[in-house]
Amino acid sequence: MSSPELRAKRILLVEDEQSIGAMCRIVLSDEGFEVDVAADGSVARAMIEERDYDLCLIDMLLPKMSGQALYEWLQSTHPRMADSVVFTTGSVIDAEIIAFIEGTGRPFLAKPFTPTALTEMVKEELTKPGGG
């Protein structure tokens, strides 16, 4: 169970793989987080315009709008949220993706990741000073 300071934190998961999105939603909801899932970057963008999120988990390879394009949009329109992004990617061998992620200074979870790795990363980011 989640600690009181982490309860009611709102997370946006941007993930086009339905099974991964479902697993993440279940795991994080069981920890007491409120989780919304967007299947692509353009849907995520619309959701961000409607609600504030404490943390965004963004897959790099998405249809319609890439994780990189979504992050760059966040930086220009919602800089606080851009500072609360964790990237996910199965493309750890793609040098351009890794260079982009490293350039942002934001953490990332390499796919496949375990439920434990997911919850640890989310809790770590949400409890950082200025996080979530």
Decide if 132 is inside a domain: no
**Structural domain harbouring 92:** 4-127
Decide if 79 is inside a domain: yes
For residue range 33-65, what is the model confidence (pLDDT) as tens digits?
A: 999 999 999 999 999 999 999 999 999 999 999
Nearest CA to 92 among 68, 108, 104, 116? 108
pLDDT at residue 42, rounded to an integer: 94
Angle made by CA atoms 112, 117, 118, in degrees to the nearest 5? 85
Contact 32, 65 (CB under 8 A): no
Q: Which residues of the chain have pLDDT under 50?
A: 1
Decide if 86 is inside a domain: yes
pLDDT at residue 131, rounded to an integer: 61
pLDDT at residue 129, rounded to an integer: 78
Decide if 109 is inside a domain: yes
Decide if 35 is inside a domain: yes
Nearest CA to 12 among 28, 31, 30? 28
pLDDT at residue 1, rounded to an integer: 45
Decide if 22 is inside a domain: yes
CA torsion sign for 92, 25, 31, 83 is positive
Residue 17: CATH number of its domain: 3.40.50.2300
Give the number of domains in the chain. Answer: 1
Decide if 92 is inside a domain: yes
